[in-house]
Structure 1
């Protein structure tokens, strides 16, 4: 296994860990706070890094595959989620702070699709 592949696996797995911690600790606390916003941005950073490394390993692989399409969608959603979390937190709207976890869960579930597809592809190769 190449060092690039190991780095990609580690960073994408760190994205899963950080994103999961952010989403479920937000849900448990009942409100979006600064910790969650930071964790979402860290998760996005790790996912983007891992995806970039994987793309280079695959020599630019096809974005028209199911994994490519869902992976691109996941990064766009994670970016939107982190930006929206930052806006909601900054505006300090109590109702939005308390309801943000509903959006977080949906984004997290969608993010899991390319993660699982990547696992399946990786195990089958």
Structure 2
């Protein structure tokens, strides 16, 4: 496995662990927010490296690229919700509860689409 792929797999594992743990236990702990942040950092770092190593002449906007950037933005917003929910802001806790699986599924679809391009 190449290092760039490793970053995305780390993001997958951490996102999955936090979101499903939260769904099962219905509580958000500090360690979960930290792991989510590490997953987001791995995702952003991998995306940044990938964008920089690709030849701009060969860069094409396709479904994978579009869904990847959209899902990265959604996960960043989702992380913000997690931080605010952990701080006790009920509005963000409800958002995190309501949209976590959907955000994860969108991110997972973008992740999986990379295998087909």
TM-score, normalised on structure 2?
0.86
SS of equivalent to 1:91? coil
Which residue of structure 2 aligns with residue 56 of structure 1?
52
Stretches (4+) displaced over 3 A: 95-99
Determine if the alignment matches structure 1 residue 45 to structure 2 residue 57: no
Note the alpha carbon deviations across 1:51-109, whole angstroms, 9 max, x for none. Answer: 122222322423x211111011011001100011111211253x864773331111100
Separation in structure 1 between the aligned mates of residue 52 and residue 108 of structure 2, nearest angstrom: 21
Determine if the alignment matches structure 1 residue 86 to structure 2 residue 83: yes
Distance apart, 1:24 and its partner CA: 0.7
Gaps of 5+ in 2: none
SS of equivalent to 2:22? helix
Gaps of 5+ in 1: none
RMSD (Å) for aligned C-alpha atoms: 2.0
TM-score, normalised on structure 1?
0.81
Please say which of residues 31-40 and 67-76 is displaced more in the overlay.
31-40
